[in-house]
Structure 1
Amino acid sequence: MLGKILPWSVHPFDNERNHREDVVSLLHNTGTRARRLGGATAAAGLLATLLTAAPAMATPDPGDKPLGGDKVTSGEVSKARSAIDQGRIPGVDEIVKSPNIEHLVNVPKGALKNTNTDISFQGKYAYAGNYDGFTIFDISNPKAPKTVSEVLCPGGQNDVSVSGNLLILSTDSSRSDNSCTSTSQSATVKESWEGIKVFDISDKRNPKYVAAVETACGSHTNTIVPDGRNVYVYVSSYSPQATFPDCKPPHDGISIVKVPRKAPEQASLVGFPVLFPDGGNPGAPTNPGVSPTSGCHDITVLPSKDLAAGACMGDGILFDIKNPERPKVIDRVQDNENFAFWHSATFNQRANKVVFTDELGGGGAATCNVEVGPERGANGIYDIVGKGDQRKLVFRSYFKIDRHQAATEVCVAHNGSLIPVKGRDLMVQAWYQGGISVWDFTDSSKPKEIGYFERGPVTLERVTSAGPWSAYYYNGHVYSSDIAKGIDVLKINDRRTDPAKKVRLHELNVQTQPDYFDQDDDHDEDDD
């Protein structure tokens, strides 16, 4: 093989259950401002440190820092150099793209130097997660995004969701407490903390940390389900251990947190529905090469259809969320031949298909090559057939990028979104160092790539995690959070995707899929 497939237990991003115990003091930056909360929340030790746009250096906690990759052999280095010379792969850091993709700008990282993660959108703002905290960008001019504020709040992986004046931040690394000055602390310590943090973002220049809710096994990702006066948060987490007081097996469900919009400081845990009463996929030795199910990695909801799809390690599920506090599983599927780790899910607009991704290698291995092949590590496309509680997920085909990568390039199917075009099923998707893929799955059995953007290897000497973590289509442009290089903004110029430019959203959390064609195009964006 061109690259070593790392075991799940050492995945640098999606297996924070290692809970490394390095502890380092947080550097207090010149020019930063701290805001303490009042009342009971202040007593709980909540502290948010806001970084302005002035130069500042955040010291990442080694407990949340991605692991280094393995060196490759001299023979593999020679192969990569030969492939570059022959034009089969781009050179180190060289940008290559299809003619229908325009690269508008790259915004390098600011004060938050750790790994970039997910993005959410609201009006003219983008909210980008980072293992060190989150950044708010003004994207009113997509060719020149401006940093509005940076919030230093370490705690991998800091996935973000926004709803109204609320921002939800996921913490899935065991911390000394729930403050933004916490340090890494072993999950074997009862007092350690993981869960979700709630910020008031009504003032984009000065977000306020207002609440924290501890959840079993932390919060690897979060998905919001807006419900009038409240925001429900589906918290995905996994990999319990008997030695973890707050994350013991079995862990066969998800945590649900309720956040009142007018009193977010009263956010609380309201349930832990069991989605896998039989324990889910057992993994090895019954199903070798498959991750055993012990929770979910990510959930996507489609509120307009009261539906959700869960990517849950060894299982993919479809469930009803008509009652958001009591989700009900409708169907469940496994792929024990080709899927290693069910990572994320995307509905098409008509809600008669779901795309599931497989995070083969756990985000720490080179898997886009001839040796691994076109099916392992691919997306799985499923049709939804039937009605009501009789709906079933029926497998149709796989899709994987065919642009082979070097042995040092970590490449994996990762986060993407629909491109809203009536009558077609189009997606843009991140593939780490495989870049960004634009692809068409209108015919479930014959998906095809129609555009791409990628950079060459970061290095030829070592397996390295880099490239796009997430790539999302929002109001006419593609915004990509690159693990190492910051934010990229792309524009697609293609007759197949051009109709999407007319669709305007007021808010987008990709894991809370909107009804793209039931929007008020005359809505005035927030000018705050």
Structure 2
Amino acid sequence: MLIPGPARRSRWGLRAAALSTVMVAASLALVGPAAAESDQLAVDEISHSKNIDLVANIPRQGPLEGQTHSDMAFWGDYLFQGSYGGITIYDISHPQRPQTVTQISCPGSQGDVTVSPDGNLLFMSVDAPRSDDTCTSSSSNAAEPTAWEGIRIFDITDKANPVYVKAVRTDCGSHTHTYVPGDADTAYLYVSSYSPNTRFPNCQPPHDSISIVEVPLDNPTTASVVNEPLLFPDITGANSTSGCHDITVFPEGKLAAGACMGDGILIDISDPVNPRKLAGVRDTNFAFWHSATLINGGKGVIFTDELGGGSAPTCNEAIGPNRGADAIYDIVGEGDDRRLEFRSYFKIPRSQQNTENCVAHNGMLLPVKGRDVYVQSWYQGGVSVFDFTDRSNPQEIAFFERGPLSDTSLVLGGSWSAYWYNGYIYSSDITKGLDVLKITGLEGVSSANFNKLPYLNPQTQDNFKDTGNRS
């Protein structure tokens, strides 16, 4: 999500801000009686397809009650939900009755989270300048040389009593990060950030790189930045890319894909400390390359366009089906000659109201035998499940959504992330907290239940075998 603030360098940039203004104006001007009034919901009214049910909701609570809730990670029977104010840890051993274990009050947006495979370490992104690296810090300004932003590391060996053990400053902060396994004793975090400015001492142009944090798993207090590889040294011009928003990795295939502002890229991660750009693509229908998911086995990529920064109503007839959407690409060629070939767009078919922010956002593959199925958040467009086995003709097969938070003005909300984990879909809702959804009666999807995951960082992708077993 792109949310500008007075103490923060703009996360929009002039191009994105202008696009957002145009999109909002266009959508407010268009939707009249010609829109699908029959499927427009009342405030907080729930609508869903026959094959998906809401089985639990845990509202925002405690010190994080008023905070924007964001991304998630999973380990064993625990779910870690980030927010702009900290992290909530849930016990999901009974998915229909999640229980709050504890909350970490530690402000700093966006609160992107990952967990180590042994369940002992939790990592959190901070992409808003703070007065220092503590959990009692106050908001600062990116122009301040002493302002801090980057990665926080918590020891969560005791899930009920997390301990903050290390902070690592990274250039331009950490909008998101991706967990990359190294050897048995080491992990790496690929830190994505962007929007440099000559006025910001810790975020200088051109910033055509990412930060790589090395974490010794047995001694995380020594974690540090070990490289800042250039991924866009050959890109120039008014719309040049100055960092990535999100990176997904497929360690088994030594491959990554990055959604990087104006570009979608493929990356060779054979040497995780020295990733290399293999190929890139641009699309005039994409305003902001937001996230990427590698298709099972590294056969392709789903990229998302966060048109309007996540705070505009872009799921309507004014914007149309090809903007603020997903783009599905096949990866063709071998080795260093691999490239991306476009196949189709996907956007939810349900027109949303002008008081609902809606655009493609975070999701993941479902491990369905013999099919390619994706679950995804769309802010107030809800949670969508679509089948893209036929790359040229993706089709929504299930959905869950609520009506707007207001019928008179646009109030920011909806599903930030939606992920499948051990038989259930978990949706982190900006204002509603945590939703748990169950798919039933959908042909082939029951095979996903054979894939029992010991943990899940959604941007660290495994290869789901066609046998229904997790590799």
Shift of 1:461: 1.5
Partner of 2:419: 472
The answer (yes or no) to whether the contact 2:31–2:318 under 8 Å persists in 1 is no
- The yes-or-no answer on 1:14 pairing with 2:2 is yes
Shift of 1:482: 0.3
Q: 1:154 aligns with which of 95, 107, 118?
A: 107
Residues 403, 521 of structure 1: alpha-carbon distance in 2 compared, 3 angstrom cutoff: closer
- The amino acid of 1:491's aligned partner reads K
**What's the secondary structure of 2:401's corresponding residue?**
strand
Partner of 1:134: 87
Q: 1:320 aligns with which of 226, 250, 268?
A: 268
- The yes-or-no answer on 1:329 pairing with 2:272 is no
Partner of 1:411: 358
Shift of 1:421: 1.3
- The yes-or-no answer on 1:305 pairing with 2:253 is yes
Matches within 5 A, 1:236-255: 236-255=192-211
Shift of 1:231: 1.0
- The amino acid of 1:200's aligned partner reads D
Residues 95, 15 of structure 1: alpha-carbon distance in 2 compared, 3 angstrom cutoff: closer
The answer (yes or no) to whether the contact 2:115–2:122 under 8 Å persists in 1 is yes
1:399-454 CA distances to partner (integer Å, 9 max, x unpaired)?
00110011110001000011001321100000000000000111111111001000
1:189-244 CA distances to partner (integer Å, 9 max, x unpaired)?
10000100011110000001010100000000010101121110000000000000
What is the TM-score normalised by the length of structure 1?
Answer: 0.82
1:369-417 CA distances to partner (integer Å, 9 max, x unpaired)?
0010000111000000111111111011100011001111000100001
**What's the secondary structure of 1:499's corresponding residue?**
helix
Distance 1:278 1:438 in 2: 37
Distance 1:19 1:319 in 2: 33
Partner of 2:18: none
The answer (yes or no) to whether the contact 1:302–1:513 under 8 Å persists in 2 is yes
Matches within 5 A, 1:67-106: 86-106=37-57
The answer (yes or no) to whether the contact 2:193–2:245 under 8 Å persists in 1 is yes
- The yes-or-no answer on 1:207 pairing with 2:159 is no
The answer (yes or no) to whether the contact 2:127–2:174 under 8 Å persists in 1 is yes
- The amino acid of 1:14's aligned partner reads L
Shift of 1:17: 7.4
Q: 1:392 aligns with which of 305, 329, 339?
A: 339
The answer (yes or no) to whether the contact 1:281–1:314 under 8 Å persists in 2 is no
**What's the secondary structure of 2:39's corresponding residue?**
coil
Q: Highest Rg: 1 or 2? A: 1
Residues 80, 145 of structure 1: alpha-carbon distance in 2 compared, 3 angstrom cutoff: farther
1:125-159 CA distances to partner (integer Å, 9 max, x unpaired)?
00000100001000000000000010000000010
Distance 1:444 1:82 in 2: 30
- The amino acid of 2:190's aligned partner reads Y
Percent of matched pairs sharing the same residue: 54
Residues 394, 156 of structure 1: alpha-carbon distance in 2 compared, 3 angstrom cutoff: same
1:343-364 CA distances to partner (integer Å, 9 max, x unpaired)?
0001111211100000000111
Shift of 1:473: 0.4
Partner of 1:123: 76
Distance 1:388 1:79 in 2: 48
Partner of 1:66: none
Q: In structure 1, list runs of 5 or more residues that go unmatched.
A: 1-12, 22-68, 284-291, 524-528
Q: 2:96 aligns with which of 143, 154, 161?
A: 143
Question: What is the count of residue pairs matched by the alignment?
Answer: 452
Partner of 1:432: 379
**What's the secondary structure of 2:319's corresponding residue?**
coil
Residues 213, 313 of structure 1: alpha-carbon distance in 2 compared, 3 angstrom cutoff: same
Distance 1:517 1:397 in 2: 25
Partner of 2:13: none
Shift of 1:19: 2.7
Matches within 5 A, 1:335-374: 335=283, 337-374=284-321
